[in-house]
Amino acid sequence: MHSKEEIRQGLLDIADNYKMRGEAVEMLVELVTYALFHEQVTIANTAKEMSLTDAALMSSKIAQCANVMYSVYRGKNPRVYLNVHFDAAVNKNKFDLIYEGNTFNLYMAEPVSGTPDGTEDSARVIETILSRYDVADKTDQIDAASRYGYELTDSEGNAVDDISDDIQVFVSKSNSTDDMVEYPVTRIFSDHAKSYDDESKGLRSKIFALTIPGYGVRLFKKGGFQIGSYIRVKGIVYSTMSGVNTSLFSRITIPGITLKRTVVEMPDPDNPLETITQTTEPVTYDPEVARQGIDTIPYEANLAGRVSHEIQSNSDVNYLFSEVFIHKVQSSTFEFLRKGTDGVAEDTIRIYYIGKQNTKPINNADKEMFVSEYGPYFLNTSIQIEAAKAVDVSMELDVVVDKSETIIDDVEGILEDNFNRRLGITFNKDLLRAMINKLEHVRYIKKFNLSTMSDFDLGGDCILGAGQYLDIEPEINYIVET
Amino acid sequence: MRLFFYNKVDDITIFHNARLLMESAYKSGRLDLKTADFLNSVKALEDPVRDFIDLYFKDQGVSISDMDKRYIINRLYAAKGGVEIFNVMEDTFGAPGGDASGGIEFKVGYKYEFPDLTEVCFNELKVSDLEMFLSSFERMVYVLLFYDKIKFLIEHLTLRLTGTLKQYILVSATPYTIINTQEVE
């Protein structure tokens, strides 16, 4: 790209060739120079936005991901758990509105049906989805334009934005809305490509929900949609706990349902001879799981593109695991254990993961689902899934600063970006010290002490074990020298 | 960049000069200025699968969005390495509904006796340029499947003649060449 001065000089030469003279020409040259330079900058920026790694705008990244059929994670709304006692018969379908408030609504996460059982104490927990918006719900007839892919749009034909990962799709077999059946939905392309219809086994192929710019969705069905058939899409609009007053949860009232606190005595799983008391509050909640971050998208999308969405080798297990549990897993790694090592009875892939904060951990049902669903992809079907273990490290710092200002946020930023909650890294304390030393207002570090209760050696380049991550807690003492 | 102004405005010196400057800046090539059209040339490397899909849908007169094309490309690449690619072709090139509801029929059979594709059989084929279609198809299969030899068998071929009808005032009539379609093996 030419500099503004080069363009200006070029234009001056052209003006000279045409024998243009005078102040008006100089002004004109300045104007045209700016216009041409601005155009070049705009074109250069647009070209940059066409690259997955260089793009600065989220919408550009999403579009580039869509090219390789990588569906960016659209987030999961907060979950509100109600401990309910049925006073009357209640039947609700998935995504049915169960509570409508001034600032938020609750929708059913799963179908529920319940009737009074004649007791006062019975209660069970139901899961609801909190959203501040109405559910997007649209039924359309498939036409020639949508037979390959159907995009969820509003009544004016504009794409509906901000759809969360909670989505439900019904498709009719004939040209009527009477025989609509629900199809499972996935954002993992390989799951979609491998799925198939088998009516005798009650299997339906998985609909692929591709995230498009604006966090809308475009849906693809194997073999395409039948022209003339009907499709109904229901999607929960993404919203967060921000602006939701949780104290209002105690005022939730639902016809036919009483919210209760229950206290249950149950055997202690650690000591069967003892009992423990378990209290279930009337309302509890999990905050939202955020949408996929702009920093990790290029890596994950490139990985998806590189494996062509096919699970071809053992090393692809990591990609698959982190995608399947994207709402629960921050990062994961794996090791391959030969029979007899580390107590395994057969060749085993052991996956270690760090869970996302403020989300429910991976439970046994999740593990069983993953092994049964994806185990056959791999040469050895023995897969173990374990939460990675934290190595707690205390960092004591005496820092000489030139100004009476705190640096704790900066230090925590360094730890978060480079060391804390990261799998498979090599830790070097001198590097950490150097990073802190370079912070603004830090003149020098007088004391730098790391200690841990674990047997982890913190000297030199420390390579973390496969299932370990660092959790460094800083404690800073300031010495001001102006 | 384009400037639009009324013809008469060009008679005013400053506008005339502005037009001259901008035109010359682009045309002289001295500044190597890029226009927005340049962005269309920024695309991935050559991709025979994409080329075939472009050709096929253009040939069928079907308008299909870029996103849908990319979906089909990714479906084919996801099946790369196995004869599953032919199922994906039937699944995706032939839109559901067949001709009756505006879809396209595309049926392809195969015999794969490693390392030869001894038979790729099209039950129904409607194209405008058979040679271009087959060479493009072959290039696509080449990147999706390992084979040494390939043989095409076409059971029913419909050649569609395409072109632009132009009206000429002719002094003498020129006869058309009559093209008879026939089964090709």
- The three state secondary structure string of chain A is CCCHHHHHHHHHHHHHHCCCCCHHHHHHHHHHHHHHHHHHHHHHHHHHCCCCCCCCCHHHHHHHHHHCCCCCCCCECCEEEEEEEECCCEEECCCCEEEECCCCEEEECCCEEECCCCCCCCCEEEEEEEECCCCEEEEEECCHHHCCCEECECCCCCECCCEEEEEEEEEECCCCCCCEEEECEECCHHHHHHCCCEHHHCECCCEEEEEECCCEEEEECCCCCCCCCEEEEEEEECCCCCCCCHHHHHHCCECCEEECCEEEEEECCCCCCCEEEEEECCEEEECCECCCCCCCHHHHHHHHHHCCCCCCCHHHHHHHHHHHCCCCEEEEEEEEECCCHHHCCCCEEEEEEEECCCCCCCCHHHHHHHHHHHHHHCCCCCEEEEECEEEEEEEEEEEEECCCCCCHHHHHHHHHHHCECCCCCEEEHHHHHHHHHCCCCEEEEEEEEEEECCCCCCCCEEECCCCEEEEEEEEEEEEECC
Mean pLDDT over residues A471-477, rounded?
A: 93
- What chain A residue is nearest to B71 in terms of C-alpha separation? A69
Q: Which residues of B touch A310 (CB under 8 A)?
A: 78, 80
What does the pLDDT average to over A68-90?
A: 93
If you measure CA to CA, which chain B residue comes closest to A33? Answer: B22
Helix (H, G, I), strand (E, B) or coil at B22: helix
Determine whether A80 is exposed, middle or buried from the number of CB atoms within 10 Å of its CB (0-12, 13-18, 19+). Answer: buried
At residue A25, does pLDDT exceed 70? yes
As a dihedral over the C-alpha atoms of residue A243, residue A244, residue A245, residue A249, rounded to 10 degrees, the angle is 180
Interface contact B103-A14, CB threshold 8 A: no
Task: Provide the residue ranges of all domains of chain B, joining segments of one domain with +.
Answer: 7-40, 45-159
pLDDT-based confidence at B11, cuts 50/70/90? confident
pLDDT score of B176 = 52
Q: In chain B, which residues touch A (CB < 8 A)?
A: 1, 13-14, 17-18, 20-22, 24-25, 28, 30-36, 38-39, 42, 62-65, 67-68, 70-72, 74-75, 77-80, 91-92, 95-97, 101-103
Taking only the tens place, the pLDDT of each residue in A289-307 is 999 878 778 777 777 766 6
Mean pLDDT of chain A: 88
The answer to whether A78 touches A286, Cβ cutoff 8 Å, is: yes
Contacting residues for A10 by C-beta, under 8 A, at least 6 apart: A2, B25, B28, B30, B31
Cα→Cα distances A341→A335, A336, A348, A381, Å: 12, 10, 10, 17
Nearest to A227 among B34, B72, B102 (CB): B102
CB contact under 8 A, A43 and B64: no
Q: In which band, very low, low, confident or very high, does the pLDDT at A156 lie, cut at 50, 70 and 90?
A: confident
> Which amino acid is located at A247 in the chain?
S
pTM (predicted TM-score): 0.78
- The single-letter code of the amino acid at B129 is D
B interface test, pick of A21, A69, A191 with most B CB neighbours within 10 Å: A69
Asked whether residue B175 carries a pLDDT value surpassing 60, the answer given is no
pLDDT at B105: 67
Residue A170: predicted pLDDT: 96
Q: What is the pLDDT, as a whole number, of residue A471? A: 92
Distance CA B62, CA B56 (A): 9
pLDDT of A112 strictly over 90: yes
Give the per-residue pLDDT at A135: 94
Collect all residues of chain B within an 8 Å Cβ-Cβ radius of residue A17.
24
Give the span between the Cα atoms of A209 and A71, in whole angstroms.
Answer: 7
CA A335 from centre of chain: 24
Give yes or no for a contact between B89 and B80, defined as CB atoms under 8 angstroms apart: no
If you average pLDDT over residues A228-235, what whole number do you get? Answer: 94
Q: Are A212 and A62 in contact (CB under 8 A)?
A: yes
Q: Inform me whether the C-beta atom of residue A225 falls under 8 Å from chain B C-beta atoms.
A: yes
